């Protein structure tokens, strides 16, 4: 399996004399920052390696978009289509930190907090060097040895709903 380190940041464009990436999901230019560089490496990893449909990726999504009374933004939310509700809902959240940021207890707790608030079964934390993936099993998070594909992430929910994706 490829890891995030195998995915380089995209081309840098100069706009108003400042470095920018073109974000393929948001379809706009975004300023190059250490944290944005990690986000821009995560997106192709999700699409190419985990086979997440691009239309199911949200970047910088406000938690209020999901009806939550919080002003925070999730770095990346992976959604799935819920046939019963005829809408999308979060299945995983990805928290991205700058490469020089250590992944400490505070970073893990923030990731778990976002996952719980969004009702995600999976959460991923990365700083571009290290990548951790967890699955919510009953009341605790279990670290996984590998990040599941999109199909694997959504399979359990599809079976419980009797829906085909």
Mean pLDDT on 53-79: 91
C-alpha 73/C-alpha 104 separation (Å) is 20
Domains in the chain, please, with CATH?
34-161 (3.90.1570.30)
Mean pLDDT on 6-22: 93
* Mean pLDDT (the chain, rounded): 89
CA distances for 38 relative to 22, 32, 63, 65, 79, angstroms: 14, 10, 20, 23, 20
Checking if the pLDDT of 158 tops 60, the result is no
Checking if the pLDDT of 97 tops 90, the result is yes
pLDDT tens profile 122-157: 999 999 999 999 998 878 889 999 999 999 999 865
């Amino acid at each position: 399996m490829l890891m995030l380190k195998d995915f380089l940041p995209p081309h840098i464009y100069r706009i108003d004399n400042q470095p920018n990436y073109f974000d393929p999901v948001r379809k706009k230019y975004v300023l190059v920052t250490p944290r944005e560089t990690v986000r821009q490496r995560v997106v192709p990893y999700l699409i190419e390696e985990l086979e997440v449909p691009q239309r199911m990726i949200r970047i910088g999504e406000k938690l209020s978009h999901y009806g939550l009374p919080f002003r925070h933004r999730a770095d990346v939310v992976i959604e799935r289509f819920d046939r019963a509700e005829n809408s999308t809902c979060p299945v995983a959240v990805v928290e991205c930190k700058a490469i020089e940021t250590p992944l400490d207890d505070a970073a893990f707790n923030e990731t778990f907090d976002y996952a719980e608030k969004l009702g995600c079964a999976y959460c991923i934390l990365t700083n571009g060097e290290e990548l951790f993936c967890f699955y919510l099993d009953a009341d605790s998070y279990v670290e996984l040895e590998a990040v599941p594909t999109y199909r694997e992430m959504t399979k359990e929910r599809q079976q419980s709903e009797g829906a085909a994706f």
